[in-house]
A and B are shown apart, each in its own frame.
Chain A
């Protein structure tokens, strides 16, 4: 059975997750079609550990400057894309919580409220 951890590999390329960028990339592991299983479990624990120890959004070299708007926007998008992709595959959406934590940490609440309303109405301008 192919591990579904790599399902969203094409959708999200994230530096923010640090270890998670490995998370969504195929690892060379044991041969055979189920060669992701072992790594998947290790990764699952990895992300859970990261989430447990989460304090605040870490430095993301994709957004090195003072204006962090794009950082907030990207993580908001990535969370919802992750949820959508995982739901489509019927997989565990726990890793998506990373993006949730990051955007909750850095986005202004009013932006999140507004964007949530837009998504409700179907007028959200971003691609999810």
Chain B
């Protein structure tokens, strides 16, 4: 039939899902080869194919929505559910690392000297760069909300400024955190302290980079007039993700940086 009698989007056949699965296989096996045999070829192939699939799949989503008009309110509702469920799964992902941290820090073993931080570990001063990073992410939460309001009010100039500022703050955080990583007197190999600290903050940093990338794509789309004042779900999803990243940082800061350094 020529027209659909429902408001859903029956997507055209696409190669990206199966290529994405192949990319996941290459990446995971590539990680194993890198960890155990110190060769990174497979991993590079995996990451490259993953990047290409993401770019092309999401490019197609933008084509289907912005240019072809397939994203009805019903479709958008489904996407909202999807993003919320995804972020929820990420919450559980981080919960695991917080569990590991509290398991080890609440009852420190004799090997650590029965104390937390363990004997010999000099933790970072929480009132130093980590506090600045907290302020940066909180400010970026404000600017992304400012950008959202600007979009709904049809204020193009302010929306672009606010979103650019948000991304700049995100990059500033990443740069500072990278510098901090370089400056610590302890490494990931330094007892369970190093493991919990770097795995948790490391995954958080990765999520900041992902969030910043998502916001950057939104900025490009904003500049190219993809969004209307009523319909801009890509931006909302990015903003939700960014707030999630901010909240994870707050918990990291309070537990590992602040409580974990006393």
Please list the residues of chain A having a beta carbon within 8 angstroms of any beta carbon in chain B: 69-70, 73, 77, 111, 115, 125-127
Contact A127 B113 (CB under 8 A): yes
Given contacts A125-B110, A125-B112, A126-B113, 17 further A-B contacts (CB under 8 A): A69-B109, A69-B110, A70-B114, A73-B110, A73-B114, A77-B114, A111-B110, A125-B111, A125-B114, A125-B118, A125-B119, A125-B120, A126-B110, A126-B114, A126-B119, A127-B113, A127-B115
Closest 10 CB pairs of A and B: A125-B113, A125-B119, A73-B110, A126-B113, A126-B114, A73-B114, A125-B112, A125-B111, A69-B110, A127-B113
Question: What CA separation (Å) do A77 and B110 show in the bound complex?
Answer: 10
- Chain A residues contacting B107 (CB-CB under 8 Å) are 70
Closest Cβ of chain B to A125, distance in Å, is 3
Report the nearest A residue to B119, measured CB to CB: A125
Q: How many residues on the B side are at the interface (Cβ–Cβ under 8 A)?
A: 11
* Residues of the B chain whose Cβ atoms lie less than 8 Å from the Cβ of A69: 109-110
Closest approach, in angstroms, between the C-beta of B161 and any C-beta of chain A? 53
What is the chain A residue whose CB lies nearest that of B191? A125
Chain A residues within 8 Å of B110, by CB: 69, 73, 111, 115, 125-126
Complex: A115 Cα to B111 Cα, angstroms: 10
- How far, in Å, is A91 (CB) from chain B's closest CB? 26
Question: Which residues of the partner chain B approach A77 to less than 8 Å between Cβ atoms?
Answer: 114
> In the complex, which residues of chain A have a beta carbon less than 8 angstroms from the beta carbon of B118?
125
Q: From B110, which residue of chain A is reached at the shortest CB distance? A: A73
Compute how far the CA of A81 lies from the CA of B115 in the bound complex, rounded to whole angstroms.
16
| A-contact 0/1 string along B90-120, CB 8 Å cutoff | 0000000000000000010111111100111
| Residues from chain A with Cβ under 8 Å of B115 in the complex | 127
- Complexed CA–CA distance, A77 and B112 (Å): 14
A61 CB to nearest chain B CB (Å): 18
Report Cα–Cα, A70/B111, bound state, in Å. 11
Bound Cα distance from A64 to B122, whole angstroms: 33
Residues of A within 8 A of B120 (CB): 125
A73 to B113, CA, bound (A): 9
A127: B residues at CB distance < 8 A: 113, 115, 119
Find chain A residues with CB under 8 A from B112 CB. 125
Q: Within residues 108 to 166 of chain B, which ones have a CB less than 8 A from any CB in chain A?
A: 109-115, 118-120
Residues of B within 8 A of A73 (CB): 110, 114
Which B residues are in CB contact (< 8 Å) with A125? 110-114, 118-120
A11 CB to closest chain B CB, in angstroms? 15
- A106 CB to closest chain B CB (Å) equals 13
Minimum distance in angstroms from A127 CB to a CB of chain B: 7
